[in-house]
Amino acid sequence: MKKEKSSKYNTKRREIYVSVFDLYGKMAFIFILLTFLIYIFQIFEPQIPPEKLTKLWSMSSSEFSRTIDSNISGWGWIKLIYKSDYMNYLPIIFLSIIVVIANLRILPFLLSEKDYKLALISLLQIIVILIAASGVLK
Protein backbone atom coordinates (compact mmCIF):
# COMPACT_ATOMS: atom_id res chain seq x y z
CA MET A 1 0.00 0.00 0.00
CA LYS A 2 2.75 2.40 1.02
CA LYS A 3 4.71 1.53 -2.08
CA GLU A 4 1.70 2.22 -4.28
CA LYS A 5 1.12 5.55 -2.60
CA SER A 6 4.71 6.68 -3.00
CA SER A 7 4.95 5.52 -6.61
CA LYS A 8 1.88 7.60 -7.45
CA TYR A 9 3.87 10.75 -6.71
CA ASN A 10 7.04 9.60 -8.40
CA THR A 11 6.84 11.25 -11.76
CA LYS A 12 9.23 10.60 -14.65
CA ARG A 13 10.96 13.91 -13.84
CA ARG A 14 11.75 12.74 -10.34
CA GLU A 15 13.04 9.43 -11.67
CA ILE A 16 15.43 11.24 -14.03
CA TYR A 17 16.83 13.37 -11.23
CA VAL A 18 17.06 10.44 -8.82
CA SER A 19 18.94 8.28 -11.33
CA VAL A 20 21.49 11.02 -12.07
CA PHE A 21 22.07 12.18 -8.49
CA ASP A 22 22.15 8.67 -7.10
CA LEU A 23 24.54 7.13 -9.62
CA TYR A 24 26.89 10.05 -10.25
CA GLY A 25 26.85 11.12 -6.60
CA LYS A 26 28.02 7.71 -5.44
CA MET A 27 30.62 7.56 -8.19
CA ALA A 28 31.97 10.98 -7.19
CA PHE A 29 32.27 10.03 -3.50
CA ILE A 30 34.11 6.79 -4.30
CA PHE A 31 36.56 8.68 -6.55
CA ILE A 32 37.03 11.40 -3.92
CA LEU A 33 38.00 8.80 -1.36
CA LEU A 34 40.27 6.94 -3.79
CA THR A 35 42.20 9.97 -5.00
CA PHE A 36 42.58 11.22 -1.44
CA LEU A 37 44.11 7.93 -0.34
CA ILE A 38 46.48 8.12 -3.33
CA TYR A 39 47.45 11.61 -2.17
CA ILE A 40 47.99 11.06 1.56
CA PHE A 41 49.89 7.81 0.99
CA GLN A 42 51.78 9.56 -1.80
CA ILE A 43 51.35 6.68 -4.24
CA PHE A 44 52.00 9.28 -6.93
CA GLU A 45 54.23 12.25 -6.26
CA PRO A 46 52.28 15.32 -5.11
CA GLN A 47 53.05 18.86 -6.23
CA ILE A 48 52.98 19.95 -2.59
CA PRO A 49 53.53 17.18 -0.03
CA PRO A 50 50.93 17.28 2.80
CA GLU A 51 53.60 18.03 5.41
CA LYS A 52 54.44 21.30 3.62
CA LEU A 53 50.87 22.52 3.63
CA THR A 54 50.89 23.57 7.29
CA LYS A 55 53.04 26.50 6.15
CA LEU A 56 50.73 27.41 3.31
CA TRP A 57 47.09 26.87 4.21
CA SER A 58 46.76 30.08 6.18
CA MET A 59 47.52 32.08 3.01
CA SER A 60 44.82 33.48 0.78
CA SER A 61 44.21 31.57 -2.45
CA SER A 62 46.05 34.17 -4.56
CA GLU A 63 48.99 34.30 -2.15
CA PHE A 64 49.06 30.49 -2.11
CA SER A 65 49.12 30.38 -5.90
CA ARG A 66 52.00 32.89 -6.01
CA THR A 67 53.96 31.05 -3.35
CA ILE A 68 53.84 27.65 -5.00
CA ASP A 69 54.61 29.39 -8.28
CA SER A 70 52.02 27.38 -10.16
CA ASN A 71 49.09 28.96 -11.86
CA ILE A 72 46.31 26.77 -10.51
CA SER A 73 43.59 29.36 -10.92
CA GLY A 74 40.97 28.76 -13.59
CA TRP A 75 41.69 25.43 -15.22
CA GLY A 76 45.45 25.79 -14.73
CA TRP A 77 45.49 22.80 -12.38
CA ILE A 78 44.86 20.51 -15.38
CA LYS A 79 48.57 20.73 -16.22
CA LEU A 80 49.32 19.21 -12.82
CA ILE A 81 46.75 16.44 -12.98
CA TYR A 82 49.41 13.73 -12.82
CA LYS A 83 50.37 15.01 -9.36
CA SER A 84 48.47 13.18 -6.63
CA ASP A 85 47.22 16.37 -4.91
CA TYR A 86 45.74 17.81 -8.09
CA MET A 87 44.32 14.41 -8.96
CA ASN A 88 41.85 15.15 -6.15
CA TYR A 89 40.46 18.01 -8.22
CA LEU A 90 38.97 15.60 -10.74
CA PRO A 91 36.27 13.95 -8.56
CA ILE A 92 35.50 17.29 -6.88
CA ILE A 93 35.03 18.90 -10.30
CA PHE A 94 32.88 15.94 -11.28
CA LEU A 95 30.81 16.47 -8.11
CA SER A 96 30.30 20.10 -9.07
CA ILE A 97 29.13 19.24 -12.58
CA ILE A 98 26.47 16.71 -11.58
CA VAL A 99 23.76 19.39 -11.55
CA VAL A 100 24.59 20.18 -15.18
CA ILE A 101 24.34 16.50 -16.11
CA ALA A 102 20.97 16.28 -14.33
CA ASN A 103 19.66 19.35 -16.17
CA LEU A 104 20.97 18.03 -19.50
CA ARG A 105 19.10 14.80 -18.87
CA ILE A 106 15.83 16.49 -17.90
CA LEU A 107 15.86 19.12 -20.65
CA PRO A 108 14.82 16.85 -23.57
CA PHE A 109 12.09 15.35 -21.40
CA LEU A 110 10.69 18.80 -20.50
CA LEU A 111 10.74 19.78 -24.18
CA SER A 112 8.98 16.56 -25.18
CA GLU A 113 6.30 17.36 -22.58
CA LYS A 114 6.04 20.91 -24.00
CA ASP A 115 6.87 22.36 -20.59
CA TYR A 116 8.73 25.27 -22.18
CA LYS A 117 8.85 27.53 -19.10
CA LEU A 118 10.65 24.94 -17.04
CA ALA A 119 12.80 23.87 -19.99
CA LEU A 120 13.95 27.48 -20.42
CA ILE A 121 14.90 27.81 -16.76
CA SER A 122 16.65 24.47 -16.91
CA LEU A 123 18.62 25.59 -19.99
CA LEU A 124 19.51 28.91 -18.33
CA GLN A 125 20.67 26.98 -15.28
CA ILE A 126 23.05 24.94 -17.41
CA ILE A 127 24.40 28.10 -19.05
CA VAL A 128 24.89 29.84 -15.67
CA ILE A 129 26.83 26.90 -14.20
CA LEU A 130 28.94 26.53 -17.34
CA ILE A 131 29.79 30.24 -17.27
CA ALA A 132 30.76 29.94 -13.61
CA ALA A 133 32.82 26.83 -14.40
CA SER A 134 34.55 28.39 -17.40
CA GLY A 135 36.51 30.78 -15.23
CA VAL A 136 35.51 33.90 -17.15
CA LEU A 137 33.89 35.38 -14.03
CA LYS A 138 36.72 36.77 -11.95
Partner 1 sequence: MKILNNVLFFIFLFFLYNLNVFQTFSQDSVSKNTIPKIVETKSLEADIAPENKQKSFPWWVWIILLFVVCFFIGIIAVLGGVGGGVLFVPIVGSFFPFHMDFVRTTGLLLAMSGALSSVPSLFRRGISNIRASILFAFVASVASIAGAIVGILIPENIVQLLLGIIIFCIFLIMFFTKSSDYPQVKKTDKLAQIFEINGCYFDESIGKEVIWKAHNTLISIFIFLIIGFIGGMFGLGAGWANVPVLNIIAGFPLKVSVATSSFILLTSSSTAAWIYINKGALLPIIAVPSIIGVMLGAKLGVELLKKVKSQNIRKIVMILLLIACVRALLKAFFI
Burial 68-100 (b: 16+ CB within 10 A, else e): eebebeeeebeebeebbbbbbbbbeebbebbbb
Q: How far is CA 71 from CA 11, 29, 35, 64, 122, in A?
A: 46, 27, 21, 10, 33
The one-letter amino acid code at 54 reads: T
Cβ closer to partner 1: 104 or 118?
Answer: 118
Name which of residues 63 to 82 contact partner 1 (CB under 8 A): 64-70, 72-77
Count of alpha carbons within 13 angstroms of residue 106, beta-carbon side? 28
Cβ closer to partner 1: 62 or 114?
Answer: 62
| Total interface residues for partner 1 by CB under 8 A | 75
99 binds partner 1 (CB under 8 A): yes
13 binds partner 1 (CB under 8 A): yes
Per-residue contact string for residues 42-61; x = within reach of partner 1 by CB under 8 A? -----xx-xxxxxxxxxxxx
101 binds partner 1 (CB under 8 A): no
29 binds partner 1 (CB under 8 A): yes
